[in-house]
Chains A and B, each alone.
Chain A
């Protein structure tokens, strides 16, 4: 029991500075979201269009609170955020959080499916490639990685639609609802993370396999399976965990291209529309949600680091 409490304390000491860092990161991101939304010209004029009179613009500015000095605006913006108020959409005249929450499940569904496919294929591919360096599987994995990282997603998505939806009619071309709707966008979305995971797993694992402790594990008579799975893979996992976190973050905060191609009703589509309609309040809210998502994922990655490597979790103490 005492030892377990000791481990818990190690984790608290390890994570505390990361949490402080996360809050600071979040504050910076929130400030950036605020100022970026105001650098694309006067929102009031953007909304009303170029033929509005000065009077109309002034009226709109007062309505949106844009007539006040910037620091005052920033203060009330932070005040709102502190009460979890993300403001209201200018176009839909509804609270932003309601709009975002409406789209979040679709985005999560797509992200989870995409990351699952990417991991289930990318990880084994990378492992096999590292174990059979220079052999057929290695070449296949290198090809997949190159292909996945260089192919434009919008083109791949369109090709999928052309083949599987238009030509053969096996799967729906767009929108959501059933698992069939999920297949094409999820597969399209998985291509880039899969390539990155496969490539990084391969390089990280083949590096670890050259380490003395691997030769040493073999010298102890351990089965090759044990050597690879309990000695090598865990040591090779850190960079792979990092890239998986980064990719998941990117997908969660809206896979704009893929959602657009498949008319998937997720955050990416909402963000595209918000930009098109100059709905700066909604854009700002989406950026904030994206920032929070990234910060949470980074914290998770940090925690995983600590779980995987005892040396890392003890750095805090």
Chain B
């Protein structure tokens, strides 16, 4: 089976008055039909910048420095091409973190859904659009879907708004849906409801999903695969079960140890220190400065990706291999 979306060596740089920062680097990702991929990392790890770059939606001071992207085998980025805007809405739908700010406050939900259909399904008639809008909104678990359609965003609760935002993102049947911290702003109960909805959409309606989150626990519940990001790079990627049961990268391990539910009898450990500022000249493992297992070689050269069957990592001292013992 061919991947729907392939990202190769994506590098994204952000320039500000203090200099250039590499926000995303050596980013490779394949998304297959039906995949639910969790893109996990702490704030500043580059996960949001990475997924926004997939649609060419970076902020003004941020630019894609290199890399190629293929959609259904066709190159949409690289070799002088940039057709990322063609993916927007039609092939890739995006649900943002906070629906209070991602929905236009002056337009009714129905208007916002209709706009998406008009531009992405322009061949269809208005009546077909109307049917599709009603069909999608009725699946979102609203008590009164008709009322939601004619409401303005501020007339809905936070959870309803987020579900409306999901409806807008999927109304034109994109193959891939990106959910960027889409439930972080909600309370726990609503979060669970919206997560169930997202999972249902992904499995029943055949969308592939990229779920961007800092919440490992939440991702583990929904995702079939996980990609852990640190300092702009994917440091570990694989099926959810194997990433959680047998993490290879010390950062993944650190993340798992800081989740109360999985720490089990072992004491709950945080990861000391803060992520580095990755400038263009940065060499070596991004995590070395915080890593308990770091050796000299970690900072001497960039760490290459190791692929083992269906999972891979970016570490020269993976867990499972003999760890360097330092002085002791």
Contacts and interface: CB of A to CB of B under 8 A. Distances in A.
Interface of A: 3, 211-213, 215-223, 226, 230-231, 234-235, 308-311, 314
B183 to A, nearest CB: 16
A216 B102 contact: yes
B152 A221 contact: no
Interface of B: 52, 55, 57, 85, 88-90, 93-94, 96, 98, 101-107, 112, 115-116, 119-120, 150, 152, 154-155, 165, 168-169, 172
A286 B226 CA distance: 74
B107 A230 contact: yes
Nearest to B113: A220
In order of increasing CB-CB distance, the 10 nearest A-B pairs are: A221-B89, A221-B88, A216-B102, A219-B94, A212-B101, A220-B89, A310-B152, A213-B104, A220-B116, A212-B102
Contact of A222 (B115, B154, B169): B115
A308 B119 CA distance: 24
A215 B57 CA distance: 7
Contacts of B172: 221
11 contacts: A212-B96, A212-B102, A215-B57, A215-B102, A219-B55, A220-B116, A220-B169, A221-B116, A226-B115, A309-B106, A311-B154
Of A213, A230, A309, the most chain B CB neighbours within 10 A belong to: A213
Given A216-B165, A310-B154, 9 more contacts: A213-B105, A216-B94, A216-B103, A220-B88, A220-B94, A226-B119, A309-B105, A310-B152, A314-B155
B89 A219 contact: yes
Nearest to B103: A213
Of B104, B120, B172, the most chain A CB neighbours within 10 A belong to: B104
Contacts of A308: 106
Contact of A219 (B88, B101, B105, B106): B88
Given A212-B98, A216-B96, A222 B119 contact: yes
B201 to A, nearest CB: 17
A223 B119 CA distance: 8
Contacts of B112: 220
A215 B120 CA distance: 17
B154 A221 contact: no
A213 B94 contact: no
Contacts of B52: 215
Contacts of B152: 310-311
A163 B105 CA distance: 50
A310 B103 CA distance: 14
Contacts of A221: 85, 88-90, 116, 119-120, 172
Contacts of A218: 55, 57, 85, 88
Contacts of A311: 105, 152, 154
B6 to A, nearest CB: 20
Contacts of A226: 115, 119
B154 A220 contact: no
Contact of B106 (A216, A220, A223, A310): A310
Contacts of B93: 219-220
A230 B152 CA distance: 15
A258 B22 CA distance: 57
A308 B168 CA distance: 22
Contacts of B55: 218-219
Contacts of A309: 105-106
A223 B101 CA distance: 20
A218 B120 CA distance: 12
A235 B119 contact: no
B106 A234 contact: yes
Contacts of B120: 220-221
Contacts of A3: 150
